């Protein structure tokens, strides 16, 4: 039988499969996409921990349902999704190149120019499903700063591994890493 980790969050329990990332490292795989119940129950708990902000941003893809629910809960008419590739329908895309330490590759994060206007001069809340190495929120921070916004919080449902020791992030529960 394959191994799993029991996550308790927002009054719910989820059995997360343990997945090997490398010979010495495994993670408990947390997929928020599609878990409407978890998104619904966890969002109000996260809201309570957040400072005041003007704009919600997430990077595609797994944080999107949380950002959407947060916008609904706070009755914001919009939230911003940073994309990982330029889409043909983007008007004047605003692009940041990011070097990933974990994958040793260059990736991009980009915004439609309309979203840059939404961020400029505003207090921005970064929202994600899991904060782990912190690389993706660091890239988002760079993108927001370049767009003229001010990051006022970095929040996720889960902090994985050493991320749970960070004092500069907001999260609901810890998620262990499995090192052999
Ligand atoms: N444990 C995890 N499950 C799913 N996505 C992740 N991204 C980083 N850590 C993760």
Give me the pLDDT at residue 33, please.
Answer: 97
Residue 128: CB within 6 Å of ligand 1? Answer: no
Q: Which of 138, 140, 145 is nearest to 122 (CA)?
A: 145
Residue 132: CB within 6 Å of ligand 1? Answer: yes
Give me the pLDDT at residue 4, please.
Answer: 97
Give me the pLDDT at residue 101, please.
Answer: 65
Residue 171 has pLDDT above 80, yes or no: yes
C-alpha dist (Å) from residue 155 to 3, 56, 69, 143: 28, 10, 14, 16
Averaged over 132-158, what is the pLDDT? 97
Q: Using 50, 70 and 90 to split pLDDT, how confident is the model at 99?
A: confident
Q: 151 near 145, Cβ under 8 Å?
A: yes
Give me the pLDDT at residue 2, please.
Answer: 75
Averaged over 34-43, what is the pLDDT? 98
Q: Which of 132, 134, 177 to mutate to test the pocket of ligand 1 (most atoms within 8 A of CB)?
A: 132
Please state which of the ranges 35-49, 70-84, 103-117 shows the lowest mean pLDDT: 103-117
Residue 7: CB within 6 Å of ligand 1? Answer: no
Residue 14 has pLDDT above 80, yes or no: yes
| ipTM higher than threshold 0.90 | yes
Residue 56: CB within 6 Å of ligand 1? Answer: no
User: Which atom of ligand 1 lies at the shortest distance from residue 30's CA?
Assistant: 3
Residue 102 has pLDDT above 80, yes or no: no
The Cα 64–Cα 102 span in angstroms is: 22
Give me the pLDDT at residue 81, please.
Answer: 98
For 36-172, CATH gives 3.40.50.2020
Mean pLDDT of the chain: 95
Give me the pLDDT at residue 86, please.
Answer: 95
Averaged over 94-108, what is the pLDDT? 85
């Amino acid at each position: 039988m394959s191994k799993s980790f029991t996550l308790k969050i927002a009054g719910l329990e989820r059995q997360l499969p343990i997945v090997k990332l490398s010979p010495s490292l495994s993670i408990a795989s947390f997929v928020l996409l599609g878990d409407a119940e978890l998104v619904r129950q966890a969002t109000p708990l996260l809201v309570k921990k957040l400072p005041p902000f003007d704009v919600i941003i997430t990077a595609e893809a797994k944080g999107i349902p949380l950002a959407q629910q947060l916008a609904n809960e706070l009755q914001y008419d919009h939230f911003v999704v940073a994309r990982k590739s330029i889409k043909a329908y983007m008007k004047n895309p605003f692009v940041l190149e990011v070097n990933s330490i974990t994958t040793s590759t260059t990736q991009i994060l980009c915004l439609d120019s309309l979203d840059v206007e939404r961020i400029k001069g505003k207090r921005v809340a970064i929202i994600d499903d899991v904060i782990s190495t912190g690389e993706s929120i660091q890239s988002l921070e760079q993108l927001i700063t370049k767009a003229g916004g001010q990051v006022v919080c970095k929040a996720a449902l889960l902090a994985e591994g050493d991320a749970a020791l960070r004092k500069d992030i907001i999260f609901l529960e810890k998620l262990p890493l499995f090192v052999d």
